[in-house]
């Protein structure tokens, strides 16, 4: 069994490219090896900032033999009148490199045809690899490409060397103006510029000898191990954000964690700003005490084992100190203006050319937020909510947010606290942006939730007004995220919002035309159904609940959840079948009476159905008004066997016209009952 090594050496590739790239290399490699019928034991894809590496272990010397079956003429055309093979049969066999006698007859799609079975022998794998590996390199795509010599070759970063080995043989081909060889390169500072690989199996050992750790998982362990040692030494906690860990893993070929410090005077800055400056600009991990309070330390990751690590530490401390001095300056400068002054200056900031200023948007958001509070009948302070709305975007014109855009909301909260605003107001300025990602932290109090909902409702209506709604290629205003966040807030905080009322109110503020509002409503319904599907609810239950509750997302979720629990029960399936049958019968009748005459009933089953229907009708009305979906499901479960029994025992189209019309009137009443729940016909389509 052989070993394949393919290494593309480059200038440093951005860390954010790596996840997609490694996944693409693995998927494409497996696909191409499968197409070529190359048998191997396992395949690994690894990387460092300067290299992409494919290793295939336990490779067979030859490809698998394969048998292909080709369909030919119909069997009845295989022979002529003399019983000899026909010209069609001979020609078909010849086209496949066979004699007519080698053909067989097979049943295909209900008919008999001549078939040719062609066996392809295995090929030497080594001869196929140059084309396969070159195709792999050429096929790789990146979020952004560069070209450095000829515009015909593009890659994430300039390619500097290529290694391609099949055991000890070079796999010869050219890519990006370079020929493959057996020479790799070690660490940029600590390794050799030329690392000769006599065998593909030498690669891992020789890379480590040259301070290159090609396995990202191993580099992550090195970082976490160093962090753990620092935590133990300090008696503190190092906050390791997974995304920041990923970035450090893919920024270093040989990661070396180190501890740095900064002056305590910088602890007066809101810690989110300091942490953001450390993480975003310097890729440092912050250090906190056991209560989560920032301490004057940081953990950096060096790509070099320096002779004196204090030199590395000092250099990084100087860079961070400069960044924190900037933040401290902005913090002090912003203190010279009140939040009201900042809010007033929003009049000079354009939200969108057709939609006016950011100040105009804030005023609309305020009206929507107060409308929501009234709609939900919340016992809250209108003054606090109004104040939070007025100040909601003030921090966007602060020096701090201009420099560190990710701390919007954080700075609003801190400036409000510093100005002595009520804590509910300050917290709302931060929590209006929650959740920041799917499944993220929700607001802890209602003011921030209302502010966040109102802002997203205004954004949806505003963007649909100007016709810039999402397409399959783009969503520049983040409307999919806005719709998702609205539902997460409604579901997470149990807010029974009526979207129809809210959109009507917000549309009046912006004079949104009816056809655009219809498009917006359809968009919201579709996004909600997608989210419910992601939560594991069955499509039939979502479809049924959407008939009556699509514009009340909390009830949509609850109703669909109850139906999902019953979706596989026999009574539920039987009820769907009966409801669809009722609808089909009713729709075929041109005229039906609205009155059911009990005196015309002949059979017990129709009497029982009518009695059950009267009880169910009233009970269902009450359950729907109260949004008591468990009770509604119980009513449906009790109705199911009764109507099923009716169809088993009763002939609707009786010869007696009076009996027939009365039974049809009964089914019309049943159809009316089912219509309160939803269109069951859609479930049959699903």
Name the pLDDT band for 230 (thresholds 50, 70, 90): very high
> pTM for this one?
0.79
Rounded to an integer, what distance in angstroms lies between the CA atom of residue 685 and that of residue 251? 52
Question: What is the rounded average pLDDT for all residues in the chain?
Answer: 93
Rounded to an integer, what distance in angstroms lies between the CA atom of residue 14 and that of residue 9? 14
Name the pLDDT band for 149 (thresholds 50, 70, 90): confident
- Would you say residue 67 has pLDDT above 80? no
Name the pLDDT band for 176 (thresholds 50, 70, 90): very high
Strands 66-74 and 104-108: unpaired
What is the CA angle 95-96-99, rounded to 5?
A: 90
Long-range contacts of 365-368, Cβ-Cβ distance < 8 Å, separation of 24 or more: 365/389, 365/392, 365/451, 365/454, 365/455, 365/458, 366/390, 366/454, 367/505, 367/509, 368/453, 368/454, 368/457, 368/458, 368/502, 368/505, 368/506, 368/509
Structure tokens at 618: 């009233």
Nearest to 222 by CA among 247, 195, 193, 257: 257
Name the pLDDT band for 527 (thresholds 50, 70, 90): very high
Q: What is the DSSP letter of 114?
A: E
> pLDDT tens, 246-299?
999 999 999 999 999 999 999 999 999 999 889 988 999 999 999 999 999 999
- Would you say residue 164 has pLDDT above 90? yes
For 250-299, give the DSSP string: TT-SS-EEEEEE--GGGGGS-HHHHHHIIIIII-PEEEE-TTS-EEEEEE
For 402-441, give the DSSP string: HH-GGGTTHHHHHHHHHTT--HHHHHHHHHTT--SSTT-P
- Would you say residue 327 has pLDDT above 80? yes
Instruction: Give pLDDT, residue 336.
Output: 94
* Burial annotation 629-649 (CB, 10 A radius, 16+ → b, else e): bebbbebbbebbbbbbebbee
- Would you say residue 531 has pLDDT above 90? yes
> pLDDT tens, 34-58?
999 999 999 999 999 999 999 999 9
549 against 95, higher pLDDT: 549
- Mean per-residue pLDDT, 599-605: 93
> pLDDT tens, 624-680?
999 999 999 999 999 999 999 999 999 999 999 999 999 999 999 999 999 999 888
> pLDDT tens, 459-497?
999 999 999 999 988 899 999 999 999 999 999 999 999
Name the pLDDT band for 684 (thresholds 50, 70, 90): low
Tell me how far apart the terminal alpha carbons of the chain are, to the nearest angstrom. Answer: 50
- Would you say residue 425 has pLDDT above 70? yes
Instruction: Give pLDDT, residue 468.
Output: 92
What is the CA angle 156-158-164, rounded to 5?
A: 95
Name the pLDDT band for 192 (thresholds 50, 70, 90): very high
- Mean per-residue pLDDT, 581-605: 91
Name the pLDDT band for 685 (thresholds 50, 70, 90): low
List CB contacts of 514: < 8 A, sequence separation 6 or more. Answer: none
Which helix (H) or strand (E) segment is 118 a member of?
strand 111-120
- Would you say residue 686 has pLDDT above 80? no
SS3 state of residue 448:
helix
> pLDDT tens, 361-417?
999 999 999 999 999 999 999 999 999 999 999 999 999 999 888 899 999 999 999
Which neighbouring-strand residues pair with 66? 120
> pLDDT tens, 338-361?
999 999 999 999 999 899 999 999
- Would you say residue 66 has pLDDT above 80? no
- Would you say residue 594 has pLDDT above 80? yes
- Mean per-residue pLDDT, 69-95: 83
Instruction: Give pLDDT, residue 526.
Output: 95
- Would you say residue 306 has pLDDT above 90? no
List CB contacts of 49: < 8 A, sequence separation 6 or more. Answer: 12, 13, 15, 250, 251, 252, 253
Instruction: Give pLDDT, residue 31.
Output: 96
Name the pLDDT band for 117 (thresholds 50, 70, 90): confident
Rounded to an integer, what distance in angstroms lies between the CA atom of residue 56 and that of residue 143? 26
Instruction: Give pLDDT, residue 562.
Output: 95
């Amino acid at each position: 069994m052989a070993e394949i090594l393919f290494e593309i050496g480059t200038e440093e590739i951005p860390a954010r490219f790596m996840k997609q790239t490694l996944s693409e290399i693995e998927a494409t490699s497996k696909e191409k090896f499968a197409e070529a019928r190359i048998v191997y034991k396992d395949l690994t894809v690894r990387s460092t900032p300067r290299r992409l590496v494919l290793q295939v272990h336990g490779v067979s010397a030859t490809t698998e033999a394969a048998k292909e079956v080709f369909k030919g003429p119909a069997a009845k055309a295989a022979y002529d009148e003399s019983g000899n093979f026909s010209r069609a049969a001979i020609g078909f066999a010849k086209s496949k490199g066979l004699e007519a006698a080698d053909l067989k007859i097979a049943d295909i799609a209900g008919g008999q045809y001549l078939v040719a079975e062609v066996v392809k022998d295995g090929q030497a794998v080594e001869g196929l690899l140059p084309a396969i590996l070159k195709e792999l390199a050429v096929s790789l795509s990146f979020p952004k490409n560069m070209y450095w010599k000829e515009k015909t070759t593009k890659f994430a970063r300039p390619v500097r060397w290529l290694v391609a080995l099949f055991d000890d043989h070079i796999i010869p081909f050219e890519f990006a103006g370079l020929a493959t060889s057996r020479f790799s390169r070690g660490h940029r500072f600590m390794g050799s510029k030329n690392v000769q690989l006599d065998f593909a199996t030498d690669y891992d050992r020789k890379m480590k000898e040259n301070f290159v750790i090609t396995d990202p998982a191993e580099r992550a362990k090195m970082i976490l191990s160093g962090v753990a040692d620092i935590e133990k030494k300090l008696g503190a906690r190092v906050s390791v954000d997974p995304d920041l860990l990923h970035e450090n893993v893919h920024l270093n070929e040989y990661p070396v964690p180190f501890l740095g410090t900064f002056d305590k005077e910088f602890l007066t800055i809101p810690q989110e700003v300091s942490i953001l400056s450390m993480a975003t600009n310097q890729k440092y991990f912050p250090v906190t005490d056991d209560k989560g309070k920032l301490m004057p330390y940081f953990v950096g990751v060096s790509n070099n084992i320096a002779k004196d690590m204090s030199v590395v530490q000092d250099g990084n401390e100087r860079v961070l100190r400069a960044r924190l001095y900037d933040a401290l300056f902005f913090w002090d400068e912003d203190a010279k203006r009140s939040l009201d002054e900042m809010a007033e200056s929003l009049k000079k900031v354009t939200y969108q050319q057709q939609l006016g200023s950011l100040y105009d948007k804030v005023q609309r958001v305020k009206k929507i937020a107060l409308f929501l509070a009234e709609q939900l009948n919340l016992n809250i302070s209108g003054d606090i909510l109004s104040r939070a709305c007025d100040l909601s975007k003030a921090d966007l014109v602060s020096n701090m947010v201009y420099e560190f855009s990710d701390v919007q909301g954080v700075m609003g909260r801190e400036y409000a606290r510093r100005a002595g605003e009520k804590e509910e107001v300050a917290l709302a300025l931060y929590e209006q942006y929650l959740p920041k990602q799917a499944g993220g932290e929700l607001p802890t109090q209602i003011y921030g939730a209302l502010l966040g909902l109102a802002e997203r409702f205004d954004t949806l209506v505003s963007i649909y007004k100007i016709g810039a709604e999402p397409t399959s290629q783009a969503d520049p205003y983040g409307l999919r995220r806005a719709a998702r966040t609205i539902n997460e807030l409604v579901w997470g905080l149990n807010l029974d919002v009526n979207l129809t009322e809210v959109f009507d109110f917000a549309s009046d503020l912006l004079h949104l035309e009816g056809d655009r509002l219809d498009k917006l409503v359809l968009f919201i319904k579709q996004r909600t159904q997608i989210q419910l599907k992601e939560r594991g609810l069955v499509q039939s239950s979502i479809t049924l609940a959407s008939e009556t509750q699509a514009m009340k997302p909390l009830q949509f979720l609850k109703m669909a959840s109850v139906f999902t629990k019953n979706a596989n029960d026999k009574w539920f399936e039987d009820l769907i079948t009966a409801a669809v049958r009722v609808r089909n019968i009713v729709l075929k009748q041109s005229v039906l009476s609205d009155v059911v005459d009990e005196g015309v009933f002949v059979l017990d089953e129709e009497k029982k159905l009518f009695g059950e229907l009267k009880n169910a009708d009233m009970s269902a009305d009450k359950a729907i008004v109260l949004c008591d979906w468990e009770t509604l499901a119980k009513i449906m479960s009790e109705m199911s066997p009764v109507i099923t029994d009716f169809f088993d025992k009763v002939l609707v189209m009786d010869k007696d016209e009076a009996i027939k019309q009365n039974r049809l009137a009964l089914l019309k009443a049943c159809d009316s009952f089912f219509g309160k729940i939803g269109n069951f016909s859609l479930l049959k389509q699903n």
